Structure 1
Amino acid sequence: MKRALITGVTGQDGSYLSELLLEKGYKVFGLRRRTSTPNFENVEHIKDQIEWIDGDLTDLASLIRAVEISQPDEVYNLAAQSFVATSWSQPIATAQITALGVTNMLEAVRLVKPDARFYQASSSEMFGKVVETPQKETTPFYPRSPYAVAKVYGHWITVNYRESFGMFACSGILFNHESPRRGLEFVTRKVTDGVARIKLGLANELRLGNLDAKRDWGFAGDYVKAMWLMLQQDEPDDYVIATGETHTVREFVEIAFSYVGLDWKDYVVQDERFIRPAEVDLLLGDCTKAKEKLGWKQEVSFEELVKMMVDADIERLSKSQSKMLYNVT
């Protein structure tokens, strides 16, 4: 039985990856940060199948202990302060978690289990103000937020540990990947949650920022398969994971509203508060390398993804409404 240690296990990617590894017969260890109100919503259905270890990316001692306990064959470092907007208001915390946290995790693996295979969650945000389109593994980085700058550090320190210590360390440069488990603060989930609320009569408007920003959106459940595939190769390497299609936020909004029979123009309000200080206008990935070397491919289309998320939010809010009505009566 293979053993895997996952940081960020309760997040969107961590939950889908945990499901995948459990299906493959792994023993899964999840690193969780102690909080007064732990959130297991994404992993509630598999919570009892995961071995939980308390730890924090900013605390090297706790990571060393986690690796000692789990003795992993594979380590997936998915934890980060991952909300781009927050990185401007909390740049120091973002650097400590999203940048230095990667070094701490790599160092813990190097000291305790140097033969473990390591996956680092890099991000398409590293390309930022893109210098070529589409973006591939050799495209230079031009980060446009404290989050993206921190991710660039995490990416290069992973490469450095691979080259300096011979570790099997990979970075997956994942373009935007969404799902019904995406946090409500992210624009895609904000849209589908807003559409569901408007459809159910719980809201009458949706406030958004830049509708012209273009992104390469895929399904998170597809993307975690690429993470696993990277650690099954003979040699460690870095890979771009993307769909090769780009869509505007406006297109996402149009599909979401039209799916429930509404005209988005009647409900969407552009709000300057949600405009980033330094905007990333266009991200479009070239995943040729991943397709050829990993045999990876996307299975869920952009339109299927949007509809899946709208359906999930309508179901969630409908259940909540029913529960409230039941409690009142």
Structure 2
Amino acid sequence: MPKKALITGLTGQDGSYLAELLLSKGYQVYGLVRRSSSGNISRISHLSGNVQILSGDLLDQCSLMDAIAASQPDEIYNLASQSYVPLSWTQPSLTAEYTALGVSRLLESIRRCKSDAKFYQASSSEVFGQPDESPQTERTAFRPRNPYGVAKAYAHWMTINYRQQYNLYACCGITYTHESPRRGAEFVFRKITRAAAMIKLGLAQELKLGNLDARRDWCYAQDAVYAMWMMLQHEQPDDYIIASGETHSVRELVECAFNCVGLNWQDYVSVDPAFYRPDEPVQLVGCIDKIQTQLGWKPHSTFNRLVELMVDYDLKELSNSKA
């Protein structure tokens, strides 16, 4: 009998890559999709016929229980949330409902319907906010600084509490920023790679950015979802940081992206105060010693390779659209 997995957030970047990974390992894959998201299937259109779609919503516990009862999954991956940080300030209550309370509903549904299922909760480096140490470890104190980070912190601790109180196999992966060609254009990494491709093709003339010296821990989404899967294969449930373990500046990212298309970035990029964020006093970068030691995971794609991959993708996509 093949293993069964239920993925929430199937139509997102991580959900689509995770579905591909699980299918390659012989899983029977189910995806929980909100009715309002059913049209947004561009990331999973190539999986049509291989993934069974179930209707459900993190706002509705009955639908979650129905989905679990119907799929009887061995593993459940919760990748659904309101994940855009700026939007969490304009819609804090909605962010809390999906990103925080939605996890409570899902955990309770698992407890009632399939308590032997292994559960993965997508936590986030935003729980650290402005940390008091760098790099951060699994023991670093949470100091979230936006509604999204606060909601993720709630979900993180609820997962741990259900693990301890009900003996559920429940894990949290504290993921740092992870990118891919399936990343939304509103995020700075994709904004930059796409702009470099557009300028190269004559579809744009300039790129406006904020603080070029800001540093981030970026890794490839495919590497990140492999870590998620590995966590649920371990004998004991635990929480792990998923990151690259290194930082790069926005300036490095811009230079690398424009080098990929043979252009001097300084001719096209300007700093706009509207996008400016001051330097963080403590760098947000993950220590991956625990996941390397216990699970043997480490990212395979380098920073430069990730930039090249995304610029190449944007060049091809935009060229096809232009044609």
Classify the TM-score, shorter chain: over 0.9
| Alignment CA distance shift 1:241-1:268 (3 Å) | same
What is the Cα-based RMSD across aligned positions, in Å? Answer: 1.6
Amino acid of the residue matched to residue 114 of structure 1?
S
- Report the equivalent of 1:71: 72
Helix, strand or coil at the partner of 2:31: strand
**Superposed displacement of residue 37, structure 1:** 6.5
The one-letter amino acid of 1:16's match is: Y
Alignment of 1:10-89 (within 5 A): 10-35=11-36, 38-89=39-90
The match for 1:220 is: 221
Cα deviation 1:27-68 (Å, max 9, x = unaligned)? 000011112771111111112200000111111111111111
1:188 matched to which residue of 2?
189
Question: Per the alignment, in what secondary structure is the counterpart of residue 101 of structure 2?
Answer: helix
User: Relative to structure 1, is the Cα distance of residues 42 and 36 closer, same or farther in structure 2, using a 3 angstrom cutoff?
Assistant: closer
> Helix, strand or coil: the match of 1:82?
coil
Distance between the aligned counterparts of 2:103 and 2:201, measured in 1? Answer: 42
Say yes or no: does 1:2 pair with 2:10.
no
- What are the Cα deviations for residues 65-104 of structure 1, in whole angstroms up to 9, with x where unaligned? 1111111000000001111111111111111111111111
Report the Cα distance in structure 1 between the residues aligned to 2:192 and 2:235, rounded to whole angstroms: 41
Query: Structure 2: any 5+ residue segments left out of the alignment?
Result: none
Task: State the alpha-carbon separation in 2 of the partners of residues 36 and 63 from structure 1.
Answer: 16
CA distance in 2, matches of 1:260, 1:22: 35
Corresponding residue for 2:204? 203
SS at match of 2:49: helix
**Paired residue secondary structure (1:111):** helix
Q: Secondary structure of the equivalent of 1:290?
A: helix
After TM superposition, the structure 1 = structure 2 runs for residues 157-306 of structure 1, keeping only pairs within 5 Å, are 157-275=158-276, 282-306=283-307
Q: Identity across aligned pairs (percent)?
A: 57
Work out the number of aligned pairs and report it. 322
Tell me the TM-score normalized by structure 2. 0.96
Aligned twin of 1:326: none
- 3-state SS, counterpart of residue 45 of structure 1: helix
* Of 303-312 and 122-131, the range deviating more from structure 2: 122-131
Alpha-carbon distance between aligned partners in 2 of 1:130 and 1:270, rounded to the nearest angstrom: 27
SS in 2 for 1:181: coil
How far 1:273 sits from its partner (Å)?
A: 3.0
Task: Using the TM superposition, give the Cα deviation of residue 248 of structure 1 relative to its aligned residue in structure 2, in angstroms.
Answer: 1.1
1:250 and 1:143 map into 2 onto residues whose CA distance is 26
Deviation, 1:263, is 1.6
Counterpart amino acid of 2:14? D
> What CA distance in whole angstroms lies between the structure 2 residues aligned with 1:86 and 1:153?
18
Quick check: 2:133–2:282 contact (8 Å CA) kept in 1?
no
Q: Give the CA deviation at 1:276.
A: 5.8
Residues 272 and 37 of structure 1, relative CA distance in 2, 3 Å threshold: farther
Q: CA deviation at 1:212?
A: 2.2
| Cα distance in 2 between the residues matched to 1:176 and 1:192 | 15
Q: Matched residue of 1:223: which SS?
A: helix
How far apart are the structure 1 equivalents of 2:245 and 2:196? 26
- Residue 211 of structure 1 deviates from its aligned partner by 2.1
The whole-number CA distance in structure 2 between the counterparts of 1:194 and 1:250 is: 14
TM-score by length of 1: 0.95
1:133 aligns with 2:134: yes
Query: CA 1:278–1:302 in 2, change beyond 3 Å: closer, same or farther?
Result: closer
> Could you say if the C-alpha distance between residues 185 and 224 of structure 1 is closer, same or farther in structure 2, counting changes exceeding 3 Å?
same
